[in-house]
Structure 1
Amino acid sequence: MFERRPLFLAVGIALGTLTISGCGSSGGGGGDSSQGVHTPSGAPRGVGASQTPTPLEPGLVRVAVADSAFDVATITNSERVIDRLDVYTGSADVSGVDEWHGNAVTSTITGGTLGNARLDLLKIEDSQGATLNNALDYAIGEAANRGARVINASFSRRLEASDPRLTFNGETSATSYQRVVDANGGKGAIYVVSAGNTGSAIDTQGKPIYASQPGLYEMMLIAVGTTTNGDIHPSSSYPGDDAQLQARSIGTDFANRDVGAQGTSISAVRISEYAAGIVGQWPHLTAQQASQRLLDTASQESALFQQSNCGASGTLNCGAFYLGQGIADIDAALAPEGDLIVSQSQRVADGGALADVSYLQLSDAYGDAVAASGVLESVVAFDALGRDYAIDLGRNTQPRTARATQLRDQMQQMASASPSHATTQTAVEGNYRFSTSSTAYGELLASRFDGTFGNAQLSAFRFSGDQPSPMGSYAELGVMPMISFQTGSALTHAFERVDGVETRYALGERLSMTASHWAGDVADDAASDYQAQRSDVGLAWQIAPGLSIDSYVGQLTEQQGLLGANGNGALGLGEDNQMRFTGVSLQAQMDGFRGFAEFEQGQGSASGSGLLTSVNGMRAQQMALGLQWQGEGERAERWALTLRQPLRIDSATASFDVPAGRRLDGSVVRETRSASLEPSGRQLDIELGYGFAASERSQWQFNLLHTREPGHDADALSDSAAMVNYTYAW
């Protein structure tokens, strides 16, 4: 025969709040049976307020609170209570003698900051107002059977193993515990209990639950009460010397003044709310994984963890002695574990590309198209626990060079007083000509060698990718320095150097055939494998002396790049992307005038190696016009007017295969997205230049540049730049 020892709630006044805690949990008996057996009358076993769990929207979590009794109408945010059960009668009426304790702990969850817990209230008080151990054991098993992912029991002495002979509704305590372990398709339910309010170490009476129920214990969290400064609350029980209790103990607030209560009962429901927050975000996690996440990320900033003079030995770490694993930090628990991975397959377990090293560097041709499309917002990445996080990969797509930085570099290269000023030197010997452009630092910007061999002319050239090609019309005609022409093409900007050759073979007095090829490489220490080669063939027609027109067709082949853009990781581009180009240029020199006009258009398609699956219908074009007049004599004036539209994508549709979530079975939810790559604006550089020689050794030059829709961004404000250069030759 067992002594009938009920669970009871100690209530007292402390600092204007009520102290609450369940005391005693190892006693036997229950109901009206002195042998620890209860069989309800008028209600079949297992009958509840609802036969099947209420289906919840994604992100919401069923949290069971097993407590004495409840007055649902007075619970904070009572609409978050979705189910109720009196374990004695099987009815949904959970009112009773001691409703205050149940209301206080329930309102702490429903009034919490996370807001995703939906409550199933289980009344364990009998008709006489007694709360008994076997009823509580049964209630947690029934809560698990009803689909709870988190079960809160704000009673102390839950860490003592129950007498194996106890039953309720014909079910032993061991059976109820196993239902918690087996719940939710084998994931289990997180079981949160109070440490107690004795102000001393937890006493398991020599029969710790971790010895008899190791599976359940791995899903348990023991709530310890803490003060606002991170210390153990004087009234809270704590794990003490027991390393097993330390392993599952975690601290949090002892008081909730919003409901006028304090005690480890409050600490327990705080932890239950946090556990629901984790499970709601990632329902694939097991109870052991989710509870362990709270323990692993608990803060150890308390001064207790800096002391190691506690316990019977006087050498135990005081943080572990009093707080176990630390103080719960929900922000840290919700933060990613390890690196975030962007999946490129159908299962989370297959891994993917690191989000941090996935990037897309865009050439100027793309303008604001990718950013404005929002196509890479809310891409799902997975942490080491398989938890999904929505990230904005659009932040990893950036223009290669900011507009302000590029304009500054162009002006520095023009400024005669700047060490970056480009100086050109030319040497001619018979049929050979060699020219270089370099800075005051000795950095070679561009070089060109020309040689004539009978009917053929051969040119070899090299230039930095951010410099204009020495083979262009602007360079060949010797137009005065202009700010807008101190930068390279969008196709070459990524490269440290570009090497190429060009041949021109005369087919007659006025007609020549041309062929050219160049290849670009990034710096040796660059993380990118981007490479590009371009080959052109064409015809040049000398219409009249001083007037010629060239036409050509060509092909650009890029590896890990597309139209001057290059990517890596989840934003990688294909291995072999090709664009076909056609173009025409006109050069004229007569009576002090020099002029040129260039137009080029490309089209093609591409594939990707990451989230970008394809780019279809791509067309791009660029154009430039220039006119210069120069007077006669050593001090002649020079006037120049140029118009330039940098390379711009006129049309293209990009398709992306993006991870958007995960399923419980570990498969990745993917969605197809598309975006136009046509930027919203069209950059146009209009520049006026004027220069004159003030003396035989000095010269002035003025440049005024106005740019409309810089960066091909229709919303960008137009900008202007002006320069004055004065040079004096010693």
Structure 2
Amino acid sequence: FSAGNEAAPAIDDGMGNITPAVGAEPTEPAYIAGEAASLGRVVAVGSLNIVEPTVTDPNPDYMKISDFSNRAGNDAKNYYILAPGERVVTTGPDDDIVFPGDLTNDADTIGDYYSVSGTSFSAPYVAGALALMLQTFPNLKDKPEVALQILLDTADDYVDTALDPITGTAAGAGADEVSGVGTLNLAQAFSPQGQQTLDFGAEKVSIGTVLAPSGGAFGDWATNSGALNGLVFQDKYERGFVLDADAVSAQLPDGLAGARMVNFQTRADWAAGETHSVRAGNLSFNWTQARLYDDPTAPYQEDPQSTFQMRYSFGANEVEVGRGGSLTRLAPDVSLLNEPGVGNAFSTGGAWAKFSHHLGQGLVMDFFSAEQSGRSQSGFRFGRDKPRWSYRFGATFVEDVNTALGGSVQERFGAEDQTQMTAYALEGAWLAGRRWTLSSGVEMASVDLPGVNVSDVWTSRWSLGASRPAGPGRLSLIVAQPWRAETGSIALNAPVGIDVRGALIHQTVNAGLTPSGRQVDFETRYGFQLAESWTGEAAAVVSTSPNHIAGAEEESALWFRLSTDW
């Protein structure tokens, strides 16, 4: 409803007679806006004067409430909105009918255009906006009060610190007695509002969660697959919008799972800690305690958890158990980077055990088991040890209840990230000549991601290393690729449209699980012994295409340690 054109300020005739201001609230019938009986389906529309620049005032206040427009008042302020109402161009009858006998009338009898003012010409802006809203979003057709509320919620706040001549109050922030909720903003009303989610049939998931790079073996598969472009997401009013996944992803933070670089402070604490070792016959035992830095402001500090390793040999058998560190293998590992989903040498929460049986003629069978932070693995290796070379091949069975192989896949579709994997490994080491030791390893794994429909998921991991004595120490060079998805796809029950009743339309969409790039890490290490008890270590690492994202900026780090016994 038009709010009315009755507004006029108070008049003082100078003789003690004051005519009070009028138009402080909408006139009939617009005053019912905001009443409970209106059920949120009535809005009062006031007039807005869009001020144009002039020579004398090139930078005017852009919009002002019209002098003649009835104000919002207190009762209707939450259902009062402003729209253009001055110098509105509209159609009308021929000028001879409107202005009979006027010498400036044109010669034809065709209807003409007129420039008019009044809240009667403001209300159609809101009515048209509401009609477009109901037409564009089918889910609102049976809930017109929601469509109207969107227009009210997305209005630009009208603020004027000067006292209004009609109400005697200022138009402050939020809904007020002068301007109600503010000025109609059609562009904002048709933009997604609030939390924006996709519904894959289980539960609604935010766009940020769906599109954020997952890290781990699957990297940026969600955006690399392109399958999420064109899906339909919903805002807080359950309106449907077409998703431009590439554009949204470019604006999102990385949000990758886990820290890539090792915690250098933790590493330094372990380097400055105490290590002890004892041996008695076929039994050896060693343990390490990280250094504790006292914090005088902390009322209580727990001691760092110690790590230990015990080895016992009996006959052709050998048993190893430990806490912290990780299972030893022939293949080399990068030391300055964390591999998501894989334990590292400075994680102290995990425990592991290994049993080896020597079959004769250098043949060895290993059985092992390990657990750390919700990730468990068990398996076996079969191989051979000779004076100058060794090799192992076997299988590992992995279960991770926290991540999708170090990243996130299921969570973005309403399930819980977890991994079940069977990995097949081949690794070896070779003493080449008198100085060089070469080592390498490769693993291929079949992966299942419970909670989502995936197929043919295979991942790979490999490393190459070379080391040799150099001066007072030993130099090592390592090139490695962490776990990466090489094949595989996921079938999504994806929202692709909205029907005439406003219900989401789902269909199966297949997306590839391979990332856009391939992370390769290069590390060099040099450990050395100086005079008497001084030792040192220097290392540098460069990671290309981090998290298997093509074009991602390289990451690098340096580490240097010099220590002695005290």
TM (norm. structure 2) is 0.71
Q: 2 CA distance for matches of 1:320 and 1:724?
A: 64
Q: 2 CA distance for matches of 1:689 and 1:223?
A: 74
The residue number in structure 2 matching 1:268 is 123
Q: 1 CA distance for matches of 2:514 and 2:29?
A: 72
Aligned to 1:290, the other structure's residue is in SS state helix
In the TM superposition, what is the alpha-carbon distance from 1:251 to its structure 2 partner? 1.9
The residue number in structure 1 matching 2:275 is 425
In the TM superposition, what is the alpha-carbon distance from 1:583 to its structure 2 partner? 0.8
In the TM superposition, what is the alpha-carbon distance from 1:600 to its structure 2 partner? 1.3
- 1:250 counterpart (81, 86, 93): 81
Change (3 A) 1:351 1:234: farther
Tell me if 1:366 matches 2:218. Answer: yes
- 2:444 counterpart (578, 601, 610): 601
5 Å matches for 1:499-514? 499-508=351-360, 510-514=362-366
Q: 1 CA distance for matches of 2:353 and 2:480?
A: 25
Q: 2 CA distance for matches of 1:207 and 1:258?
A: 25
Query: Is the 1:469–1:488 Cα contact (8 Å) retained in structure 2?
Result: no
The residue number in structure 2 matching 1:616 is 455
5 Å matches for 1:704-719? 705-716=541-552
The residue number in structure 2 matching 1:552 is 394
The residue number in structure 2 matching 1:382 is 234
The residue number in structure 2 matching 1:195 is 4
- Structure 2 residues without counterparts, runs of 5 or longer: 9-21, 50-60, 91-114, 294-302
The residue number in structure 2 matching 1:586 is 428
The residue number in structure 2 matching 1:236 is 69
AA matched with 2:81: I
* CA displacement, residues 319-345 of structure 1 (integer Å, 9 cap, x when unaligned): 654434444344664465654443233
In the TM superposition, what is the alpha-carbon distance from 1:501 to its structure 2 partner? 1.9
The residue number in structure 1 matching 2:139 is 284
* Greater share of residues in helix: 1
The residue number in structure 2 matching 1:406 is 260
Change (3 A) 1:505 1:224: same
In the TM superposition, what is the alpha-carbon distance from 1:668 to its structure 2 partner? 0.9
Change (3 A) 1:702 1:358: closer
* CA displacement, residues 394-415 of structure 1 (integer Å, 9 cap, x when unaligned): 54874325xxx734x477777x
Aligned to 1:642, the other structure's residue is in SS state strand
* CA displacement, residues 136-163 of structure 1 (integer Å, 9 cap, x when unaligned): xxxxxxxxxxxxxxxxxxxxxxxxxxxx
Q: 2 CA distance for matches of 1:709 and 1:358?
A: 21
* CA displacement, residues 76-118 of structure 1 (integer Å, 9 cap, x when unaligned): xxxxxxxxxxxxxxxxxxxxxxxxxxxxxxxxxxxxxxxxxxx
Change (3 A) 1:499 1:710: same
Tell me if 1:655 matches 2:491. Answer: yes
AA matched with 1:289: V
- 2:43 counterpart (221, 227, 239): 221
Query: Is the 1:447–1:470 Cα contact (8 Å) retained in structure 2?
Result: no
In the TM superposition, what is the alpha-carbon distance from 1:536 to its structure 2 partner? 0.5
Q: 2 CA distance for matches of 1:406 and 1:433?
A: 32
Query: Is the 1:358–1:396 Cα contact (8 Å) retained in structure 2?
Result: no
The residue number in structure 2 matching 1:473 is 330
The residue number in structure 1 matching 2:476 is 640
Aligned to 1:565, the other structure's residue is in SS state coil
Aligned to 1:473, the other structure's residue is in SS state coil
In the TM superposition, what is the alpha-carbon distance from 1:586 to its structure 2 partner? 1.8
Change (3 A) 1:435 1:302: same
The residue number in structure 2 matching 1:352 is 204
The residue number in structure 1 matching 2:110 is none
The residue number in structure 2 matching 1:487 is 337
In the TM superposition, what is the alpha-carbon distance from 1:664 to its structure 2 partner? 3.2
Q: 2 CA distance for matches of 1:489 and 1:253?
A: 60
5 Å matches for 1:684-703? 684-699=520-535, 701-703=537-539
Q: 1 CA distance for matches of 2:418 and 2:526?
A: 45
Query: Is the 1:210–1:217 Cα contact (8 Å) retained in structure 2?
Result: no
The residue number in structure 2 matching 1:458 is 319
* CA displacement, residues 446-495 of structure 1 (integer Å, 9 cap, x when unaligned): 543323344432222333xxxx72523378xxxxxx8x323344332699
The root-mean-square deviation of aligned C-alpha atoms, in Å, is 4.5
Q: 1 CA distance for matches of 2:516 and 2:171?
A: 62
5 Å matches for 1:331-350? 333-334=189-190, 339-345=195-201
Query: Is the 1:501–1:516 Cα contact (8 Å) retained in structure 2?
Result: yes
The residue number in structure 1 matching 2:518 is 682
In the TM superposition, what is the alpha-carbon distance from 1:718 to its structure 2 partner? 5.8
Count of paired positions: 494
Aligned to 1:452, the other structure's residue is in SS state strand
| Higher alpha-carbon Rg | 1
Q: 1 CA distance for matches of 2:266 and 2:169?
A: 68
Q: Kindly indicate whether structure 1 or structure 2 has the higher relative contact order, using CA contacts under 8 Å at least 6 residues apart.
A: 2
Query: Is the 2:216–2:341 Cα contact (8 Å) retained in structure 1?
Result: no
Change (3 A) 1:290 1:723: closer
Aligned to 1:566, the other structure's residue is in SS state coil
Q: 1 CA distance for matches of 2:444 and 2:66?
A: 74
